[in-house]
Amino acid sequence: MALKATIYKAQLQIADMDRAVYADHNVTIARHPSEADERMMIRLLAYALNVTADEQRGKLEFAKDLWDVDEAALWHKDYTDAILHWIDVGQPDDKRLMRASGRAERVSVFSFASSTPVWWKTMESKLTRAANLVVWQVDAAQSQALAKLANRTMQLQVTVQDGTVWMSTGDQSVEITPRRLTPGG
């Protein structure tokens, strides 16, 4: 008998001053049986950092990357089903990222393990053709602190200013500063 996903619900109050995105979002996250709290919370962070101010060109959704290798962790599709933004979490291989780069207008990766520098050193030269790819590193200590906020029902305030993210539950707060590994603005 196959294990089923565990459902998490999060109410996000986002105040992203860097992108002028201010909105509340209720999201449902299907957590794969093999997924740790840390990875799930990085997916939630990626959602908060990439959700758009409006849904005129479609919306950002959690996908089924751990169930289906042809899907991202999150993706923003327009109403014709074209992929505007493919978002992966962790340390995907170069073939997956090059394939995503050809399918989507933009590709982002949020890597969070302490082994990210070693992974990136082997990947960087393989991904030079992917001009639409941005790789972010979340410090392992920060992602582990973020994992401690995980709960089946969450109410999170997300504040973004000058590239720093504060995610809090009211009584607990975590500061996260994603660092861009790919060149460019």
Q: What is the secondary structure of 108-135 as a DSSP string?
A: EEEE-STTHHHHHHHHGGGGTT-TTEEE
The residue range of the domain holding 111 is 6-180
Look up the CATH number of the domain holding residue 133: 3.10.640.10
What pTM did the predictor assign? Answer: 0.94
Q: Is residue 15 situated within a structural domain?
A: yes
Q: Is residue 1 situated within a structural domain?
A: no
> Whole-angstrom Cα distance, residue 58 to residue 52?
9
pLDDT of the residue at 66:
73
pLDDT of the residue at 184:
65
Asked which of 60-69, 84-93, 161-170 is least confident by mean pLDDT, the reply is 60-69
Number of domains in the chain: 1
Q: Is residue 101 situated within a structural domain?
A: yes
Looking at the DSSP bridge assignments, the partners of residue 26 are 11
Mean pLDDT score, 155-171: 96
Say which residues have a Cβ less than 8 Å from residue 183's Cβ, sequence separation at least 6.
none
pLDDT of the residue at 67:
78
Q: Is residue 60 situated within a structural domain?
A: yes
Q: Is residue 68 situated within a structural domain?
A: yes
Q: Is residue 185 situated within a structural domain?
A: no
pLDDT of the residue at 73:
94
Are 160 and 18 contacting, i.e. CB atoms less than 8 angstroms apart? yes
Q: Is residue 80 situated within a structural domain?
A: yes
Confidence of residue 185 (pLDDT cuts 50, 70, 90): low
Q: Is residue 13 situated within a structural domain?
A: yes
pLDDT of the residue at 2:
60
Q: Is the pLDDT of residue 39 over 80?
A: yes
